[in-house]
Amino acid sequence: MSTFTELGLNDEILKALQDLGYEKPSEIQEKAVPQVINSTDDLKAFAQTGTGKTAAFSLPILQLLDAKSKNTQAIILSPTRELAVQIGNNIKEFSKYMKGVNVLTVYGGANIDEQIRGLRKGVQIVVGTPGRTVDLIKRRQLHLDNVKWLILDEADEMLNMGFKDELDQVLEVTPDEKQTLLFSATFPREVEAIARNYMHNPIEITAGQKNTGSDNVSNEYYVVTERNRYPALKRICDANPDVYGIIFCRTKRETAQVAENLMQDGYNADALHGDLSQSQRDAVMQKFRNKTLQILVATDVAARGLDVNSLTHVINYKLPDQTEAYTHRSGRTGRAGNKGISIALITNKEVGRLRPIERKINKKFEKKEVPSGEEICKSQLFSLIDNVKKTEVNHEQIDSYLETIYSSLEGLEREELIQKFVSVEFNKFLKYYTNSRDLNVAERERGRDDRGKARDDENMSRFFINLGRKDDLNPGKLIGLINQQNITNNVEIGQIEILDTFSFFELDKNFTDETITAFTDATFNGRNVNVEITEKRKRSGGGRREDRRGRGRRFEGGRREDRRSDRRKGGSGNYDKNKSGKSYGPDRSDRRSADKPDRSAGFGRRRS
């Protein structure tokens, strides 16, 4: 194992690395740095995520750079703005003791004039997203005719995102004798295509095993029904009160929805996807990096390459379409020597999709059980106690109130006092998780239709409504009608039963009165609506398990498609008109066009 000095780096760089706490080079740095310093051959370099590829290409360039010349000598392309900013910042840190070295990051969504002013000062290294880079070339503000190095970071993603034209245009204006460096964690076909099209007899170096997941990441999966995907997600978060992680969704729409639901449910979460403005994305990333934000819900594109250290979890809310993407997702955790957990929430239908991933990462997934309400309450309670112990008292702020507080709590025993204080924080969990259901699905039930299971839920009230099929009511319209009443922000809707002239629906028991009140003046197609609380359905068979009861009774008295048991979140914003059509199955909704995977990030892409 060599040192950074032995790799041939100058004192200024070594000093900066020391400041950053980089003690010795990682394997990819050990291999790539001398290679680039000593050879002008093109290079394909592969190393797992989180192994320091940024420094592997930046350090040799800084070493070789002519700081006296103001010409742009290196252009680094990266697929997203966040990643470009991250690389730019890294290079600034590496070069902080080097005199006269200027680095500029250029990306869309930000003021181009400011970037042009930056370029005019003379920058040796430009980090950019393909779109903005081409824009600046066309405006004759960015001159790449003296470029010695072209670096493609996460190149496969740039092609995935439809940046082939931009890559071609950048290439066209760079000199033939430049050195092209390609860095990637995975090795999909796209990367081969780039190597063929853009590189001359590249040298290939690999650190660790190609395409494999990090050893620091353990991979776990939970089998749930489609309907329970979100509740299971919440339980996993609740069971890990100190979670600091990224939840990956497949589409922008799903990302926005999951983030919104989590926020409404009181989690410290926010979304990152291509439909957000640059300033929104910046704000979210800043909160996430400084840990003000605990949970980032993101699309693959938005979170590619992001280097946020010490993430505890990566959660695959849905598995990615492409196996490669799992490696990129799970690689957001377990970075720089830390340990991390990558979780996949899957339905029985998706169990088969784990195998190809396991082959790729060369590791097995471990099956986990969705935590029970009791387990969650326990971990929340201990975390609360832990926090209490760790909390420092701010005497300056609190002392003046203490006397009043003491006197108002007078007469309470120590034990009683502790019990009360803990309950203040903890009751919401106890309440939420009382009689909570088991969300696990036995794996052998593979392929069973999620909708085929009736639930009988203690937490639901059953309501009668004086509208039925004859009034043109269907489950979708009923959900819409319920949402229109704004009963509460996030009311949970249970089973729906549409009959000819009247119907039934279930709603969160805690809002029974609110529901009745909300419907007082409601109308539907000009008809006055009447909603009343009604008895829960009578159950047959005495001694069987709760959640099994009612099975087989589901379709009695109504056509199959009129029964709906997959729960949807309420809140007017969530009602989706598409849902009022003929199909309600969760799988079908995934295929709606607006739910295409987020491969756009705001620009045209080749593939979907």
Q: How far is the CB of 326 from ligand ADP (least distance, A)?
A: 15
Q: Of 430, 443, 460, which is closest to residue 547 (Cα–Cα)?
A: 460
Nearer to Mg ion, 55 or 232 (CB): 55
- Of all residues in the shown chain, the one whose CB is closest to ligand ADP is 52
Nearer to ligand ADP, 91 or 491 (CB): 91
The angle, 0 to 180 degrees and rounded to 10, between the axes of the packed helices 81-94 and 11-20 is 120
Stretch that binds ligand ADP, among 45-53, 73-81, 363-371, 440-448 (CB under 6 A): 45-53
The Cα angle at residue 54 between residues 310 and 25, in degrees rounded to 5: 80
Q: How far is the CB of 194 from ligand ADP (least distance, A)?
A: 17
Secondary structure element (H or E) that encloses residue 223, with its range? strand 217-223
Contact between 305 and Mg ion by CB under 5 A: the answer reads yes
If contact means CB under 5 to 8 A according to the sort of partner, which of Mg ion, ligand ADP, none does residue 209 touch? none
Of residues 13, 49, 84, 174, which one binds ligand ADP by CB under 6 A? Answer: 49
Nearer to ligand ADP, 82 or 135 (CB): 82
Nearer to ligand ADP, 29 or 323 (CB): 29
Q: How far is the CB of 305 from Mg ion (least distance, A)?
A: 4
d(CA 325, CA 511): 42
Q: Which of residues 197-236 bind ligand ADP (CB under 6 A)?
A: none
Nearer to Mg ion, 305 or 468 (CB): 305
Question: What string of H, E and C letters represents the secondary structure of 264-306?
Answer: HCCCCEEEECCCCCHHHHHHHHHHHHCCCCCEEEECHHHHCCC
CA-based end-to-end distance of the chain: 43
Q: Give me the residue label for tokens 């039930």.
A: 445
d(CA 596, CA 250): 8
Q: Of 93, 96, 89, which is closest to residue 104 (Cα–Cα)?
A: 89
Q: Are strands 503-508 and 269-272 parallel, antiparallel or unpaired?
A: unpaired
Stretch that binds ligand ADP, among 25-33, 254-262, 296-304, 486-494 (CB under 6 A): 25-33
d(CA 276, CA 601): 9
Residue 426 main-chain phi, psi, to 5 deg: -95, -20
Contact between 50 and ligand ADP by CB under 6 A: the answer reads yes
Contact 341/217 with Cβ under 8 angstroms? yes
Nearer to ligand ADP, 26 or 474 (CB): 26
By the 10 Å C-beta count (0-12 exposed, 13-18 middle, 19+ buried), 27 is classed as: middle
Contact between 336 and ligand ADP by CB under 6 A: the answer reads yes
Q: Of 587, 568, 432, which is closest to residue 496 (Cα–Cα)?
A: 568
Q: How far is the CB of 159 from ligand ADP (least distance, A)?
A: 18
Q: Which of residues 302-331 bind ligand ADP (CB under 6 A)?
A: 307, 309
Q: Which residues contact 425 (CB under 8 A, 6 or more apart)?
A: 384
Of residues 22, 57, 163, 519, which one binds ligand ADP by CB under 6 A? Answer: 22
Size of the site for ligand ADP (CB under 6 A): 16
Q: Which of residues 47-76 bind Mg ion (CB under 5 A)?
A: 53
Contact between 335 and ligand ADP by CB under 6 A: the answer reads yes
Contact between 51 and ligand ADP by CB under 6 A: the answer reads yes
Q: Which residues contact 431 (CB under 8 A, 6 or more apart)?
A: none
Nearer to ligand ADP, 307 or 562 (CB): 307
Q: How far is the CB of 304 from Mg ion (least distance, A)?
A: 9
Contact between 9 and ligand ADP by CB under 6 A: the answer reads no
Nearer to ligand ADP, 186 or 483 (CB): 186
Neighbours of 595 (CB within 10 A): 17
Residues near ligand ADP, by CB under 6 A: 22, 25-26, 29, 47, 49-55, 307, 309, 335-336
Residues near Mg ion, by CB under 5 A: 53, 305
